[in-house]
Amino acid sequence: MEAPLMHLALVGTPNSGKTSLFNALTGSRQKVANYPGVTVERKEGSFVTPSGRQLSLVDLPGTYSLRGRSPDEEITRDIVLGRTPGEALPDLVLCVADSTNLRLTIRLLLELKRTGRPLMLVLNMFDIATRRGVTVDVPLLSETLGIPVVTSIAVRKGGTAELLRRTDEILAAKAPQPVQPNLWQPLTVAQLRATQREADRIIAASISLPTRPDTWTARIDAVVLHPVAGLAILALILFVMFQAVFAWATPLMELLATTFGALGDLVQDTLPAGLVQSFLQNGVISGVGSVLVFLPQIVIIFLFILLLEDFGYMARAAFLMDRIMGGAGLHGRAFIPLLSSFACAIPGIMATRVIDNRRDRLTTILIAPLMTCSARIPVYTLIISAFIPAQQVWGLVNLQGLVMFGLYVAGIASALGVSSLIKFFMWRDYTPAPFMLELPDYKMPRPRSIAIGVYTRARMFLQRAGTTIFSMMVLIWFLASFPQPPDGATGPAINYSLAAMIGKALEPLLAPLGFNWQIAVALIPGMAAREVAVAALGTVYAIEGGKEAAEQIGAVLATKWSLATALSLLAWFIFAPQCASTLAVIRRETGSWTWMWVTFGYMFALAYAASFATYNIAMALGAG
């Protein structure tokens, strides 16, 4: 007989190493979804203990207490208390602590004890604590707290062996134990203070303070948090990040492009000419292929973000940017959501949940789509490589990389500008919410954890490419192929299609921006996801110009567009009304259609104005 599935929950303060422990226990057997009704990420995984017990593990959002002052923290509280419908009451709660820093976790643990749930304290990162000279009297700590305590080193192979063994023991012995009642009530200030005092007493009795403080963190911070050097380093990191996105990804991207080109040729050679061949080659392969090609860049940008996060730099960046962003009406904590928006506005907007003041959060949500998301990279890359010469500037900087950097800067500058306007016009009477953030000690990034993180995000991107984008590509192919040209027609077939009709209908509106009808056709599906615009251009020009065009979209564009048009399109995409999924997330996160339309409207206006200005200035300078 199979034992029933047991449920475990991971609870801990932010920076306790909860996620690396979760990764160590579950590996890639993770499912990421949302809790119903709220946009809090639900991470669940499964693993098997040495005795063969099948366990499900949920990684609850990090919190310092059970007060539940943000939607994330409410999820943690409600699951631990068994108040969430559809979620199992955990059979065992694992409270994860950074062993070098137990003060805040022991306080949380004392609060958790009142819930009556079976509890175990996991002293994670125990190796680092030992190295610093921290000694923990584990049996005494366990006795004082009245719960099992284990040590673990999530990042080392076998470092969770003791945790697994004890989990087995507890779950095996659990059945006969009487169920403890839930005595938890929200703590008053006095109770909170008393709990922290008690935690400090317990720590004094069973844990020695580090004899070797973390000199590395102090040394690094002396430079990294220096008012001037720190900002220079931050700018350098961002610059290297965007150069890397451009330079490192190129060989892989070329490989992918060649592969898809070969696949297209194979289809052309093996299938008879006709609709099926056209559908497979021009719709499916060149469409999905031209999106998949950007996977290396997305992987690189997430690699950087996850490395910086794991290293402990993200909180420092928020510290450095707090007042600078404060000048633009933004909260220091907005830095992380905004930086995540460089990868994709959707996780960025969802990450605004770390900002607990509604107005600060709303401002951040409104400007997050102005950050250059990775979906714009395909468009930027395509146009830049077609129109901007790859020459070296000042001996070491690539001009193409420099233009790319400029586009990012334009996005950031406009975001700060819009935020200032929001602050000035809408919320003049409002004092900013407090910025309070733990600056964790630096830690060597854990390759396995990073790999799992990058893998999860790459998989999400591929799923999008496989579903939304694929269906959009089929639709575009359909629009571009039907109706078929009449017999004896001259000129490319696409000129007779539905797509051309739509594009031509929009052309007068977009002509002042220097956009032709092919661009208009591409911008419509670009609403589904920005990167689709590239695939759409590929399809439009491939169907128009035959197989060679699909392989060389960039070269074709260089012959068909003026430089002014290309620059105008770049300007358009800095502000481009964002993809349908972003709009859907804004609607969900703000709980209002109004804010979604406000975002759409202001971005459309900015995009139109910027393109109009760019096109006309470029024409005046002779770039037509």
Helices 553-560 and 532-545 meet at what angle, rounded to 10? 80
Rule CB under 8 A: is residue 439 a binding residue for another protein?
Answer: yes
Among 68, 71, 82, 210, binds another protein (CB under 8 A): 210
Least Cβ distance, residue 319 to another protein (angstroms): 5
| Edge-to-edge strand list for the sheet holding 119-124 | 30-34, 41-48, 54-59, 6-12, 92-98, 119-124, 149-151
Rule CB under 8 A: is residue 101 a binding residue for another protein?
Answer: yes
Q: What's the sign of the alpha-carbon dihedral 167, 171, 172, 174?
A: positive
Pairing status of strand 30-34 against strand 41-48:
antiparallel
Pick the closest to residue 52 from 168, 190, 221 (CA basis): 168
Structure tokens at 587: 């609607």
Structure tokens at 325: 């962003």
Which 464-503 residues touch another protein, going by CB under 8 A?
Answer: none
Least Cβ distance, residue 318 to another protein (angstroms): 7
DSSP 448-513: HHHHHHHHHHHHHHHHHIIIIIHHHHHHHHHHHH-SPPPTT--S-GGGGSHHHHHHHHHHHHHGGG
User: In this complex, which beta carbon is closest to another protein, that of residue 99 or of residue 611?
Assistant: 99
| DSSP code at position 136 | B
Least Cβ distance, residue 343 to another protein (angstroms): 24
If binding means CB under 8 A, how many residues of this protein chain bind another protein?
50
Rule CB under 8 A: is residue 335 a binding residue for another protein?
Answer: no
Max Cα distance, the chain (Å): 93
Structure tokens at 31: 């499912």
Among 72, 91, 309, 322, binds another protein (CB under 8 A): 322
Q: Which stretch binds another protein (CB under 8 A): 196-204, 271-279, 533-541, 587-595?
A: 196-204
Rule CB under 8 A: is residue 324 a binding residue for another protein?
Answer: yes
Rule CB under 8 A: is residue 33 a binding residue for another protein?
Answer: no
| DSSP code at position 428 | T
Residues in contact with 503: Cβ distance below 8 Å, sequence separation at least 6, in sequence order:
517, 518, 519, 520, 521
Least Cβ distance, residue 416 to another protein (angstroms): 14
- The burial of 46, by beta-carbon neighbours within 10 Å (0-12 exposed, 13-18 middle, 19 or more buried), is given as middle
User: In this complex, which beta carbon is closest to another protein, that of residue 94 or of residue 318?
Assistant: 318
Structure tokens at 277: 């061949």
Rule CB under 8 A: is residue 462 a binding residue for another protein?
Answer: no
User: In this complex, which beta carbon is closest to another protein, that of residue 117 or of residue 333?
Assistant: 333
Contact letters for another protein, residues 41-80 (x by CB under 8 A):
-----------------------xx-x-x-----------
Which 272-291 residues touch another protein, going by CB under 8 A?
Answer: none
Contact letters for another protein, residues 521-540 (x by CB under 8 A):
--------------------
Among 97, 120, 238, 315, binds another protein (CB under 8 A): 315
User: In this complex, which beta carbon is closest to another protein, that of residue 37 or of residue 213?
Assistant: 213
Least Cβ distance, residue 47 to another protein (angstroms): 31
Among 29, 174, 193, 358, binds another protein (CB under 8 A): 193
Among 85, 176, 227, 491, binds another protein (CB under 8 A): 227
Least Cβ distance, residue 204 to another protein (angstroms): 11
Among 27, 37, 251, 327, binds another protein (CB under 8 A): 327
Rule CB under 8 A: is residue 311 a binding residue for another protein?
Answer: no
Rule CB under 8 A: is residue 328 a binding residue for another protein?
Answer: no
Pick the closest to residue 541 from 488, 487, 499, 572 (CA basis): 499
Rule CB under 8 A: is residue 247 a binding residue for another protein?
Answer: no
Among 153, 238, 291, 318, binds another protein (CB under 8 A): 318
User: In this complex, which beta carbon is closest to another protein, that of residue 168 or of residue 438?
Assistant: 438
**3-state SS class at 529:** coil
DSSP 374-414: TTHHHHHHHHHHHHS---EETTTEEHHHHHHHHHHHHHHHH
Dihedral over alpha carbons 31, 36, 37, 39 (to 10 degrees):
-10
**CA–CA gap between residue 51 and residue 76 (Å, rounded):** 29
Structure tokens at 413: 């500058």
Pick the closest to residue 126 from 162, 154, 148 (CA basis): 154
**3-state SS class at 202:** helix
Among 248, 279, 311, 435, binds another protein (CB under 8 A): 435
Structure tokens at 86: 């559809």
User: In this complex, which beta carbon is closest to another protein, that of residue 218 or of residue 621?
Assistant: 218
Dihedral over alpha carbons 302, 306, 308, 310 (to 10 degrees):
-170
Rule CB under 8 A: is residue 213 a binding residue for another protein?
Answer: yes
Least Cβ distance, residue 188 to another protein (angstroms): 9
Rule CB under 8 A: is residue 237 a binding residue for another protein?
Answer: no
Least Cβ distance, residue 242 to another protein (angstroms): 23
Q: Which stretch binds another protein (CB under 8 A): 33-41, 223-231, 268-276, 542-550?
A: 223-231
Least Cβ distance, residue 437 to another protein (angstroms): 5
Rule CB under 8 A: is residue 320 a binding residue for another protein?
Answer: yes
**CA–CA gap between residue 540 and residue 386 (Å, rounded):** 17
Q: C-alpha distances in angstroms, 552 versus 49, 248, 376, 557?
A: 53, 21, 19, 9
Least Cβ distance, residue 100 to another protein (angstroms): 7
Angle ∠(331,336,342) on CA atoms, nearest 5: 120
Which 352-411 residues touch another protein, going by CB under 8 A?
Answer: 357
User: In this complex, which beta carbon is closest to another protein, that of residue 132 or of residue 166?
Assistant: 132
User: In this complex, which beta carbon is closest to another protein, that of residue 231 or of residue 271?
Assistant: 231
| Structural element, H or E, at residue 288 | helix 286-292
Rule CB under 8 A: is residue 319 a binding residue for another protein?
Answer: yes
Q: Which residues bind to another protein, rule: CB under 8 A?
A: 64-65, 67, 69, 100-101, 103-104, 107, 189, 192-193, 196-197, 200, 209-210, 213, 217-218, 221, 225-228, 230-231, 315, 318-320, 322-324, 326-327, 332, 357, 430-441
